[in-house]
Amino acid sequence: MIPPPFDYVRASSIDEAVKALSEDPNAKVLAGGQSLIPLLKLRAVAPSKLVDIGRLKELRYVRQAGDGLAIGALATHAELERWSGPCGVLPEAARQIGDPQIRSVGTIGGSLAHADPAADWPAVVLALDAVVKARGPSGVREIPAEEFFQGPYSTALQQGEIVVEISIPRCPPKASYVKIARAYNDFAIAGVAAAVWVKDGAVEDVRLAATGVGLKPVRLKKAEEAVRGRKISGDLLTEVAEAASKEVEPVSDVRASAEYRRAMAGVAARRAVRRALGL
């Protein structure tokens, strides 16, 4: 399959990329291309211009920042897989994305901007309360993950804006990402990221976020309510599973029926909390 023709601009700076994007409403950003190129080949999209930001080395980093992390938009899944610092949920999640070849090239910023409703990173950044930094014609805008995802393949990014950094304010002491899929390299039927803070044998605070079980990644606020402040026990895991299943609104597609996704949202939530707590 051959992509449709397009103009190609290789950006040598973020500003140059923003300018090229701002001038043309039908231009698209090319980062790693692991989501965009398959769509081009299927002719599902036909951008007038691709603005290639893949060579902007200044956007390729993962580093500690205060109690959290700053991740450059062009950090690849493979680079995050090898990250050995705080926020160990990042390598845990990265390992579950696609396969080694996809992970060599695909980027976290690209994945978030693409906003596939079954992608893995969106659930993880929601659970980590991350902020997406976007650079546009009028400078840098900080968009909380909660506001970033608006629907299938739809984000809060405006014309000419590029994701430049993902900022995680504080790494949770315990976190895990569990993905249930048909095959090793497939998209999630359900994926749940859990961040848990424990105090005196009880759940002091918790953030749960799910992917693959709705039109966009969602916080599982009812499941969080079910466990926040509770003593850690087996019953807790049962309740988190039930609450998560009840509150998601999945749709049926080629991968799974809505009913099965609903059931798997509960299973993924239970496993994610269990794994985060080390039970």
Site of interaction with another protein (CB under 8 A)? 1-8, 10, 30, 33-34, 37-38, 40-41, 50, 52, 54, 78, 98-102, 104-105, 184-185
Cβ proximity to another protein, 43 vs 231, nearer residue = 43
Q: Give 77-81 contacts, CB < 8 A, sequence gap 24+.
A: 77/102, 77/103, 77/106, 77/107, 77/108, 77/111, 78/103, 78/104, 80/108
218 sits in which H/E element? strand 218-219
Nearest to another protein of 31, 113 (CB atom)? 31
Residues 112, 106: Cα–Cα separation, whole Å: 11
Write out the two tokens for 243.
């609450």
Give the C-alpha separation, 173 to 153, whole Å: 31
What's the one-letter identity of residue 54?
A: G
Give 102 or 267: the residue with its C-beta nearer to another protein. Answer: 102
> From the CB of 30, what's the least distance to another protein, in Å?
8
- Please, are residues 83 and 91 in contact by the beta-carbon 8 Å criterion? yes
When the beta carbons of 79 and 129 are compared against another protein, the nearer one is 79
The three-state DSSP-derived secondary structure of 116-156 is CCCCCHHHHHHHCCCEEEEEECCEEEEEEHHHHEEECCEEC
Number of CB atoms found within 10 A of residue 146's CB: 15
Residue 104 C-beta: closest distance to another protein, Å:
4
Cβ-based nearer residue to another protein, 106 or 212: 106
Cα 59 from Cα 221, distance rounded (Å): 33
In the complex, the smallest distance separating the C-beta of residue 249 from another protein, rounded to whole angstroms, is 29
CB of 103 to another protein, least distance (A): 9
Q: Which residues pair with 267 in a beta bridge?
A: none
What tokens does 217 get? 């990644």
Whether residue 207 contacts residue 127, with contact meaning beta carbons closer than 8 Å, is answered with yes
Identify the three-state secondary structure at position 180: strand
Alpha-carbon span 47 to 253, nearest angstrom: 27
CB of 35 to another protein, least distance (A): 10
Q: Which C-beta is closer to another protein: that of 179 or that of 262? A: 179
Q: Closer to another protein by CB, 114 or 207: give it.
A: 114
From the CB of 114, what's the least distance to another protein, in Å? 14
Q: Give the nearest distance from C-beta 99 to another protein in angstroms.
A: 3
Judged by CB, which is closer to another protein: 54, or 72? 54
Tell the smallest beta-carbon distance from residue 227 to another protein (Å): 32
